[in-house]
Amino acid sequence: MMHCFPRLAPVFLGATLLLTAPALAQTTATVLTGTPTSLASTNGGPIYRSSASSTYLASQFAYVFDGPELSVAGLRDGDVITDVAWEKTTSGTSSRPATFRILVKNSTLATYTADASFAALTAGTTEAYSNANYLVPATIGLVNFPLTTPVPYTGQSLEVFTDWNMSPTGTGSPSTGSFLWVQYLVPDKILGFAATAPFTTNLSPTSNGPSSLNDIRPKTTFTYTRVNGTKNRVLLSGGAYPNPTTGLLHLPLHPAFAGHVAAATVLDATGRVLRQTSLSSAGTLDLGQLPAGVYLVRVALGDLTEVHRVTLQ
């Protein structure tokens, strides 16, 4: 599959392709499964804080989002998640810093039905966000967390974990008020626990310790970049094929661009440019002189760019 973007620059982190791009290259997907609760709540997190004077200074939550609901929200296999946001309804803010982490993993789970430890749940996760001096803002609306390690989505379920621990030192109230978040009623999609200090207690599907969870889950918005997929205009007709290839790669331009000449760039897994050439509407590219491996082929015409990951045998 492919995706059309305004001209993008690839950035490689290990084997993961990210894209530096203008804002319009990114899209949001908000999961709205279930029924909105009549009142916002702190019970389901992502950060538990019920009042300015509350003694609860630590919370952990686990959320599972199954493949069908993510598909309805707009996420597709191959999308790269760059931000996670939750919707806050109060102006409460932190009075002292806290450590806040977001961990994410692709999964085959669809529900949570039993207690589990945070350590067991987060095995195999990517620590996507970590801030040792996080202050909850007074923002009413989406509180966004740009991920320091973006997460490629593989098309099944996603599990998202939050870990919040506020410093016990300091004078006065730890916050100016409660942190209330928009929640949706949806069965078996949450585990949580909150306490007055860091804990190793199992997370529960029914109670976060001080309060009931009652099958709630906070409204969650993912921002993603689509490396592959179809959106707006299609530059190539039929994509890049055959893939895998033994050498000859077909990249025919869409009939709308008949008579035009595109620019084709071949890059290796480190982002190093190996070859640049022109591509006619018939669109063939011979990779036979390169050693077997995985390459990225970028095709650009005007303000459109498509990037295809190609395996050369």
The pLDDT tens digits for 235-259 are 676 678 898 999 999 988 877 777 8
| Collapsed DSSP state (helix, strand, coil) of residue 73 | helix
| Collapsed DSSP state (helix, strand, coil) of residue 23 | helix
Quote the CA–CA distance of 275 and 255 in Å, as a whole number: 25
% of the chain surpassing 70 pLDDT: 87
| Residue 268 CB neighbour total at 10 angstroms | 15
**CA 235 to chain CA mean position, Å:** 26
Read off the pLDDT band of 13 (50, 70, 90).
very low
Quote the CA–CA distance of 275 and 169 in Å, as a whole number: 58
Residue 250 has phi, psi (to 5 degrees) of -100, 130
Q: Tell me, what's the pLDDT at 231? A: 39
**CA 56 to chain CA mean position, Å:** 29
pTM, rounded to two decimals: 0.68
Tell me the average pLDDT across 43-68: 95
Q: In the chain, what are the domains?
A: 9-226 (no CATH), 248-312 (2.60.40.3080)
Report the candidate in 216, 151, 223 with the shortest Cα–Cα distance to residue 190. Answer: 216
Residue 19 pLDDT > 80: no
Q: Tell me, what's the pLDDT at 270? A: 62
Q: What is the pLDDT of residues 95-129, one digit of tens each?
A: 999 999 999 999 999 999 999 999 999 999 999 99
Report the candidate in 23, 141, 164 with the shortest Cα–Cα distance to residue 88. Answer: 141
| Alpha-carbon torsion, ordered 150, 154, 155, 156, to 10 deg | -100
